[in-house]
Structure 1
């Protein structure tokens, strides 16, 4: 990237501060839940609402990216999300209906409109050759920020002096920051960013939109990428949200000790994994799905090891290490799980449509995973509940292996056809 493009890239990447509020649950899950005044199942339902709005928003609201300026979309998302998050942080004992409204707003501003805009922006800033590098670099930067952020969350929580008050300090600080950052977005992202070409092609896209969707749906790589991403996302939901209460409940850790685990699990693991994944996928494997299949094998084996490991205090360190390893591999998967679409060489005219369909499939677990895991935790004793969850993760790892091997075959077959069709130079 040029210096100017990289500057825009950094601003876009830093705008993911919109997710800082939801990251609180990864460090201080129980105080966050208590501050909202909900059960595990209710919180799972609220988080599932975000996923519901997210996946259907991808399908229904993608046209906004072609009509509205990128910088205005991001700024509005930051303010919309931040407003509702700040109310949750400031006002205690809110009625449940308002919590539902707030989490629907989080899905609308934080995912349905925001995340496809970020994907489009990142894709537009990188060349076809550097797509994987751009997305993995973005994930690495987000993980580095997350590591610092999680430490700040734990610090603010400790500063508060009590569980709920400490959680509320973090719940108020992050929305204020994201709303202020919207002015940085408006200042440094150009008005016509990725929009000049969009205006000239807008009519053609609108006229052929249905045809483009059909063309994209016919591509097998769209489906293998989507279902591969779905398996990853379900594992990510468990690792990022429920590993913390699992370790805390299994080994009777204090909130501060559990928060330290949350920092390592959701921050440090991501920083290292995202940095390595894109390099290894590019340098050591002929296709990204090959690398992803190996990662799924590791996740499946580690989940089985967790299932057979005793929950006694003497086994705390091995269990913590295994949980962190699952998170590490999961982030490595997330850093590259949409790269196969670029490796396949999807036509640029339908690449955005293909990405939207794959994203729709890939993020479907966000609709049901939180509710499912929350209901399991509330419905069974701790050990049995988490045995069920880790068994599910192992099963989805097998699904990921199968789908990625199919994706690898699809990419290699297309490369063979292209080589066979290319003229031989004597």
Structure 2
């Protein structure tokens, strides 16, 4: 029993870290935009086009990826996708021309979104019972953060060992990511199970269409999607917290950057597991209820931020409020896919549900940044950020509403319907 438990947590770590760092080469611009322009010969506009190519392709692939996670072996898909991503990175390290780089980004979207995203979430979900979904998903988000942060720090250190004008510096970073992907792909082959396999009757049916329609007809799909939508909106707004502290309170860019690291890297690593612990050890033991509680706190926080933006009084207070908002957001991010398992979504359509919820839930990526950017350009800073906090308040209210609706569905579920771990996981 002890050996099985160790294997389960090791499997969760491999799944989580694979799913987390697999996007890092596609999003290489986040850390290495200047080296990309310098060594790969791209203009900033071309780098933007490269990024948007991945983003547009990704939106199209979330839902089909969910269907793949329901129909195919998780072990084979994850192993193949990670190894393929590593090989694409090796091609990227040759510094290809723009047209080839765009094709690589499309291929990255196929390997990471179509093949890995929903598969990794479903594979992790199947490692626990219905009652363990909050703990499993919380630790998954935390382990993702640890993997992303650890590998990012290591590659930055390697990059710094080269002369500033040495083009091999960026190449070394890309190859480290590629090698890590391939190693994790091999680990997935030995640790990840095949996952849930539909019976013969289901397998001979019009799988993708019937299951997609079944998922879309379920009210819980829409409730879970809108919970993710609201939390993800707050997550997008948080990315402007460093700008806010700099423009409204005059915080130095260096100090603001450190705040960004704490919120985007450190909080991602620790808040997901903490949220899972709340579901495991509090009297609620419900991811949905815990997200609802965090949304209520977030609503109060954004209301206070709105007020202190009108009359800035204390930088320390603003920092404290933003850190509290960051905690509630990242803890909720570690739990929102657990809602899908908590509501007893049938395992044969779990992946399809994850895919469809991802398409709807991650739509704030499309509108939050241009809207807030427009406010920053067109309005005085105080008014722009007050508008942003209003958007955060609306998102918090949305989470409160749809968690309440989902809790109503959960109460109607018989305790006898709780799912058990899949055999062999």
1:318 is matched with which residue? 317
For 1:148 and 1:159, the matched residues in 2 are separated by 17
* Change in 2 beyond 3 A, CA 1:405/1:33: farther
1:73 Cα deviation after fit: 1.6
Question: Is the partner of 2:241 in helix, strand or coil?
Answer: helix
1:244 Cα deviation after fit: 2.7
1:6 to 6, 9, 15: 9
Where do 1:133-282 residues align within 5 Å?
Answer: 133-148=135-150, 174-190=173-189, 193-195=192-194, 198=197, 204=203, 207-239=206-238, 241-282=239-280
For 1:376 and 1:29, the matched residues in 2 are separated by 27
After superposition, give the CA deviation of every residue in 1:137-189 in whole Å (9 maximum; x if it has no partner).
Answer: 11122233455466668868988999xx89x9996565332201123124322
1:55 is matched with which residue? 59
1:72 is matched with which residue? 80
2:410 is matched with which residue? 411
- Higher mean displacement: 138-147 or 291-300: 138-147
For 1:194 and 1:417, the matched residues in 2 are separated by 26
For 2:374 and 2:36, the matched residues in 1 are separated by 15
For 1:192 and 1:279, the matched residues in 2 are separated by 25
Asked if the contact 2:37–2:43 (Cα under 8 Å) also holds between the matched residues in 1, the reply is yes
After superposition, give the CA deviation of every residue in 1:335-362 in whole Å (9 maximum; x if it has no partner).
Answer: 1112222222222222222222222222
1:332 is matched with which residue? 331
- Higher mean displacement: 397-406 or 308-317: 308-317
1:197 Cα deviation after fit: 5.9
1:106 Cα deviation after fit: 5.0
1:295 Cα deviation after fit: 1.0
Asked if the contact 1:78–1:109 (Cα under 8 Å) also holds between the matched residues in 2, the reply is no
Asked if the contact 1:47–1:370 (Cα under 8 Å) also holds between the matched residues in 2, the reply is no
* Change in 2 beyond 3 A, CA 1:248/1:281: same
Question: Is the partner of 2:412 in helix, strand or coil?
Answer: helix
- Which runs of 5 or more residues in structure 1 are unaligned? 420-426
Asked if the contact 2:247–2:381 (Cα under 8 Å) also holds between the matched residues in 1, the reply is yes
Asked if the contact 1:51–1:365 (Cα under 8 Å) also holds between the matched residues in 2, the reply is no
For 1:138 and 1:31, the matched residues in 2 are separated by 31
Higher helix share: 1
1:301 Cα deviation after fit: 1.6
1:129 Cα deviation after fit: 4.1
1:388 Cα deviation after fit: 2.0
1:328 Cα deviation after fit: 1.0
* Change in 2 beyond 3 A, CA 1:74/1:138: same
Asked if the contact 2:301–2:321 (Cα under 8 Å) also holds between the matched residues in 1, the reply is yes
Answering whether residue 108 of structure 2 is matched by residue 110 of structure 1, we say no
Q: TM-score, normalised by structure 1?
A: 0.78
For 1:151 and 1:98, the matched residues in 2 are separated by 28
After superposition, give the CA deviation of every residue in 1:375-402 in whole Å (9 maximum; x if it has no partner).
Answer: 4334434333322222211111111111
Question: Is the partner of 2:22 in helix, strand or coil?
Answer: helix
Asked if the contact 2:135–2:273 (Cα under 8 Å) also holds between the matched residues in 1, the reply is no
Aligned residues: 405
Aligned CA RMSD, in angstroms, stands at 4.0
1:192 Cα deviation after fit: 9.6
